[in-house]
Every structure is written in C-alpha cells, then in structure tokens.
Amino acid sequence: MTLLLYQRDDCKLCDEAVALLAAVRAPEFESVWIDDDAELEARYGMRVPVLHDGSSGRELDWPFDVGTLRAFIAET
C-alpha cells in the first residue's frame, strides 16, 4: 500500500489529518505538498487534505474521521 497525503503549508485541517493518521496507526504515508505545483494545485487546491491510495487510485477527501479512515485503510 502506498499512501499519499496531499496537503499544503500552514493548513490546520492538514495537521488534523496527520493527527488522525497517527491515531489509527496508519501505515507509513508520504506527504505531498501542493503549494508550488500548478497541476496539483488545480486538482487538489480546495480539497486538501486528501489521502490517496497509490495502489488502487482511490482518494479520501476531507473531512474524514477515525472510522472513515480505518475503513479506507482496511479496503487496501
């Protein structure tokens, strides 16, 4: 499983998403900062944080909670 968390600098919601990932003991994930990437900004700008499963292409948009996050991870 390859998890990517699309986020931006100084994003309170992104910080909350990271805390939730820690709370559910999610597998390692890579942070992808969209701030200086026009293509990622266009795709994820208003949606961040977004958790992306690189194996299946599925995405989980904010807002998510512990239950939703656990279910998303269990499906991979």
The answer to whether residue 67 scores a pLDDT higher than 80 is yes
- What is the assigned CATH class of domain 3-74? alpha beta
Contact predicate 5/61, CB 8 Å: no
> Phi, psi (5° rounding) for residue 44?
-115, 0
Q: What integer best gives the mean pLDDT of the chain?
A: 95
Write the pLDDT tens digit of every residue in 7-42.
Answer: 999 999 999 999 999 999 999 999 999 999 999 999
- The H-or-E segment that residue 73 falls in is helix 66-74
- The H-or-E segment that residue 39 falls in is helix 38-44
The answer to whether residue 76 scores a pLDDT higher than 90 is no
| Per-residue model confidence (pLDDT) at position 16 | 98
51: which strand partners? 5, 60
- How would you class 24 by CB atoms within 10 Å of its CB: exposed for 0-12, middle for 13-18, buried for 19 or more? middle
